């Protein structure tokens, strides 16, 4: 006897079980792909922001492939009934791998939050660390360690929508996040203009000494090795250049004050 499979797909199942053809397996995948999408959307709707629906679908497809490989036609089981738990299991496994916070840490964070709410309700104000450590029955040092671990529980997705716009693309949190390491283009232009001013009138070696020392943060010894000069010679040239530049800038000081 064969399983409860639609007649129009039964021959595909039978031939696949005999040949293990990749082409036939892909036909079966296409036939039952709607089960993956349906279950992925159901799970995804109950999840917090930051979880990608496509990640769940990808995991579900692997679960469907495993179900197709392991399905026994001789059993009186409908394939849809057999495969859905495997699809959902694969998606849940994927969610567990996304969650890098250990369960013990989450448990401690939950206990801390319960203690905080209880104390705040009874005291009428936020509890201090000493009160929290007493309620939890741990030392103050252990409480601070628990507090540090608990901060790892909260995760923020930078792809989360910040606000909607009239354009086709919504603004995400990553779009409005300040990049403190980003170079200020105005500062870059000012540096370039200053470098041109400072190195004007210098010969090649003198110009390189200024650029390598002040802009590339190289030592006198490293500059000497680059220019095939001794460290002492580079130091002498540097002192001479600085003295000349100071004199030139002093003469042009009125230009900078206007």
Q: What is the DSSP letter of 100?
A: -
* 111 lies in the same domain as 148: yes
Q: Which of 82, 98, 114 is the last residue of a domain?
A: 98
Question: Tens digit of pLDDT for each residue in 191-212?
Answer: 676 667 666 778 888 888 888 8
Which DSSP string do the residues of 137-167 spell out, in sequence order? TS-HHHHHHHHHHHTTT----TTSEEE--SS
Side-chain-side CA neighbours of 167 within 13 Å: the count stands at 4
User: What pLDDT is attached to residue 24?
Assistant: 92
* 78 lies in the same domain as 129: no
* Whole-number Å distance between alpha carbons of 42 and 16: 30
Domain holding 60, by residue range, is 7-98
pTM: predicted TM-score of the whole model, two decimal places? 0.42
Question: Tens digit of pLDDT for each residue in 115-173?
Answer: 888 888 888 888 898 999 898 898 988 888 877 766 544 444 555 555 554 544 555 55
Q: Which of 98, 115, 135 is the last residue of a domain?
A: 98
* 69 lies in the same domain as 136: no
Question: Tens digit of pLDDT for each residue in 21-32?
Answer: 999 999 999 999
Instruction: Reply yes or no on whether the pLDDT at 62 is more than 80.
Output: yes
Q: Which two tokens stand for residue 252?
A: 């042009």
Instruction: Calculate the dihedral angle through the C-alpha atoms of 218, 220, 226, 231, rounding to the nearest 10 degrees.
Output: -170
Q: Say how many C-beta atoms besides its own lie within 10 A of residue 237's C-beta.
A: 20
Q: What is the CATH number of the domain that holds 218?
A: 1.10.10
When mean pLDDT is compared across 60-69, 158-167, 215-224, the lowest value belongs to: 158-167
User: E strand or H helix at 178, and its extent?
Assistant: none
* 19 lies in the same domain as 84: yes
* Whole-number Å distance between alpha carbons of 14 and 200: 83
* 11 lies in the same domain as 63: yes
When mean pLDDT is compared across 39-43, 100-104, 108-112, the lowest value belongs to: 100-104
* 21 lies in the same domain as 60: yes
User: What pLDDT is attached to residue 5?
Assistant: 53
Residue 145 maps to a domain: yes
Q: What's the mean per-residue pLDDT of the chain?
A: 78
Instruction: Reply yes or no on whether the pLDDT at 3 is more than 50.
Output: no
């Amino acid at each position: 006897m064969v399983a409860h499979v639609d007649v129009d797909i039964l021959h595909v199942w039978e031939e696949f079980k005999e040949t293990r053809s990749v082409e036939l397996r892909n036909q079966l995948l296409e036939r039952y792909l709607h089960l993956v999408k349906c279950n992925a959307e159901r799970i995804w709707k109950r999840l917090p922001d930051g979880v990608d629906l496509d990640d769940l679908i990808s995991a579900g497809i692997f679960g469907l492939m495993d179900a197709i490989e392991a399905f026994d036609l001789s059993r009186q089981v409908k394939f849809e009934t057999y495969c859905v738990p495997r699809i959902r299991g694969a998606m849940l496994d994927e969610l567990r791998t996304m969650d890098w916070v250990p369960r013990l840490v989450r448990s401690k964070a939950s206990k801390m939050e319960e203690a905080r709410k209880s104390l705040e309700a009874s005291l009428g104000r936020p509890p201090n660390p000493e009160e929290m450590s007493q309620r939890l029955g741990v030392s103050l040092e252990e409480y601070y360690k628990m507090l540090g671990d608990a901060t790892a529980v909260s995760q923020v997705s930078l792809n989360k929508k910040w606000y909607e716009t009239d354009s086709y693309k919504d603004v995400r949190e990553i779009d409005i996040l300040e990049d403190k390491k980003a170079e200020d283009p105005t500062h870059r232009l000012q540096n370039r203009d200053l470098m041109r001013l400072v190195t004007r009138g210098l010969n090649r070696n003198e110009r390189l000494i200024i650029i390598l020392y002040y802009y590339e943060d190289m030592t006198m010894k490293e500059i000497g090795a680059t220019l095939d000069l001794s460290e002492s010679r580079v130091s002498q040239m540097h002192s001479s250049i600085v003295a000349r530049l100071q004199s030139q800038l002093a003469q042009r000081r009125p230009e900078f004050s206007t």
